[in-house]
Amino acid sequence: MELYRLTAVEISAMLERREISSRELCGELAARTDEVEESVGAYITQTREKMLETADTADSRRASGGPVTKLTGIPAAIKDNICVEGVPMTCASRMLEGFVPPYSAHVAESMAAAAIPLSGKTNLDEFAMGSTCETSALQNTKNPHDLSRVPGGSSGGSAAALASGEVPLALGSDTGGSSRAPAAFCGVVGLKPTYGAVSRHGAAAFASSLDQIAPMARCIEDVALLADVVYSHDARDAMSSPEDVKKDGFFKNLSAGMSGKTIGLPEEYLSCVDGGVAEAVKSAAKTFESLGAKILPISLPMLRYAVETYMIISSAEASSNLAKFDGVKYGYRAEGAKDIFDLIRRSRTEALGEEVKRRIMLGTYVLSSGYYDAYYNKARAASLRIRAEFIKAFETCDVLMTPTTTGVAYKAGSIVHDPARMYAGDVLTVSVNIAGLPAISVPCGFSEGMPVGLQLIGRHFGEQEILNAAFAFERESGIKNIVADIGGTGR
Ligand code: GLN
């Protein structure tokens, strides 16, 4: 049997029945990685030795009746902007080359405690800024469904590792859609948590008021299980919520009953997407109706301001968060500087990429004294209205459904040098971060031979509701666990 084609839930049952060991499983997934990684390029760093060590811990826990969870012994990849003690972290930037974190992120600690072996650190757009994975200073990642296309960004490495069958579980991060958009492009699932539901401790900050760490997998059950591991209160993140979101477990409480549910379908979101994407989403709406849900057309006109609001707020916060990369404290340091100011200027000039510099300059500009009111304060006001609009929609709807992206995966090189177009492509995901809401992207069909993503948005802390809706859709449509046959021309 090809183990790499199985979901974590299926593998978990085999581990429980002792049909395989975690060491065998990790060995087989490593072999799959060796076979496809040269074409796909999902990983910046592979941690094979560490993975096998944890696999042995998992196997001995199972043998001795030690503490195990369903995911114990099943490997996961982590995006390379999340710290794991002793494993290099680059954020796909020259700036952090050679940096080895002395501590682990809260989520990485939780995964280690559950003896989930780490397969490696995945590629991303530099400091998570981008929508194609192409702003990575270190390598290119390809879309496993069509190697001439991008996997999406910024968590493109995690999405590609899942879609190519290199690993069944992964963490991404999501500031404006970075887990959901690559999930849509690669035909996998990405869950953006409610702001404050997952600790950001140990994740490199991009825009602190928007960032969340995102569980990713190839089916809903697997995402629910991984969410069960990483969701918890953590005093080290000042915005970590004490709310008990997962109760006694998202996985345990998965239920596919949709009757009596109202799903809002915002017209503005459908009107800005390609025909094939719109078709797939409309057909998903029919599927929900056949399950007894009511589809309610609604209007969310603030969508018009979403990208501008997001770019101003995220760049402002990024310009402040990235000030610490100065050539003194971390990673890269320029040679031959005259004095400290020259050292900082040269180090940043040499080690940060074009997109990152653009965001820092934009952010610095909108925060400068002459423009603060005109841009930053306006964006704050707009973000309150975006939030209010969603809260109003949830007075009549249990869940909202929209496409995740405006089209299928971009051709490599087609958009990365046209920033305005690239930012515009994030229009359907960024409002969720601005409003702090939970959302999930699930595959809902194909267009041009490429996967299409359906985005389900929930109320604050309404993760279980969107997981259940996604689970119901997945069951009824049978669209799940898509592993690409690696090739050049689509499926
Ligand atoms: N594509 C968006 C951006 O470029 C989102 C990034 C993210 O969510 N990290 O900012």
Each residue's pLDDT tens digit, 279-299: 999 999 999 999 999 999 999
Asked whether residue 487 carries a pLDDT value surpassing 80, the answer given is: no
CA–CA gap between residue 320 and residue 367 (Å, rounded): 10
Assess whether the C-beta atom of 174 lies below 6 angstroms from ligand 1: yes
Token couple for 158: 């995690």
Mutate to test the pocket of ligand 1, among 123, 154, 416, 432 (most ligand atoms within 8 A of CB): 154
Q: 3-class secondary structure for the chain? A: CCHHHCCHHHHHHHHHCCCCCHHHHHHHHHHHHHHHHHHHCCEEEECHHHHHHHHHHHHHHHHCCCCCCCCCCCCEEEECCECECCECCCCCCHHHCCCCCCCCCHHHHHHHHCCCCEEEEECCCHHHCCCCCCCCCCCCCCECCECCECCCCCCHHHHHHHHCCCCCEEEEEECCCCCHHHHHHHCCEEEECCCCCCCCCCECCCCCCCCEEEEEECCHHHHHHHHHHHCCCCCCCCCCCCCCCCCCCCCCCCCCCCCCCEEEEEHHHHHCCCHHHHHHHHHHHHHHHHCCCEEEEECCHHHHHHHHHHHHHHHHHHHHHHHHCCCCCCCCCCCCCCCHHHHHHHHHHHHCCHHHHHHHHHHHHHHCCCCHHHHHHHHHHHHHHHHHHHHHHHHHCCEEEEECCCCCCCECCCCCCCHHHHHHCCCCCHHHHHHCCCEEEEEEEEECCEEEEEEEECCCCCHHHHHHHHHHHHHHHCCCCCCCCCCCCCC
**Structure confidence at residue 442 (pLDDT):** 98
Q: What is the mean pLDDT of residues 237-249?
A: 97
Regarding the beta carbon of 179 and ligand 1, being less than 6 Å apart is answered no
Å from CA of 203 to ligand 1 middle: 15
The pLDDT assigned to 330 comes to 86
In this prediction, residue 489 has a pLDDT band, given cuts at 50, 70 and 90, of very low
**For residue 470, pLDDT beyond 90:** yes
Ligand 1 center–CA 479 separation, angstroms:
26
Residue 383's pLDDT is: 98
This prediction's pTM = 0.98
Ligand 1 close to Cβ of residue 131 (< 6 A): yes
The verdict on the CB of residue 175 being under 6 Å from ligand 1 is: yes
206 lines ligand 1 (CB under 6 A): yes
pLDDT value, residue 488: 45
Question: From atom 4 of ligand 1, which residue's Cα is the shortest distance away?
Answer: 130
pLDDT of 152 over the 80 cut: yes
Q: Catalytic residue positions?
A: 79, 154, 178
Q: Which of 175, 180, 315 to mutate to test the pocket of ligand 1 (most atoms within 8 A of CB)?
A: 175
Quote the percentage of the chain above a pLDDT of 90: 98
Q: Report how far ligand 1's centroid is from the alpha carbon of 130 (Å).
A: 5
| For the CA of 131, the nearest atom of ligand 1 | 1
Instruction: Using the atom order of ligand 1, give the atom closest to the CA of residue 179.
Output: 8
128 CB under 6 A from ligand 1?
yes
pLDDT at 1: 75
pLDDT at 490 over 80: no
The chain-wide mean pLDDT, for the chain, equals 97
Of 93, 122, 124, 131, the residue with max ligand 1 atoms within 8 A of its CB, to mutate for a pocket test, comes to 131
Q: What is the pLDDT of residues 23-48, one digit of tens each?
A: 999 999 999 999 999 999 999 999 99
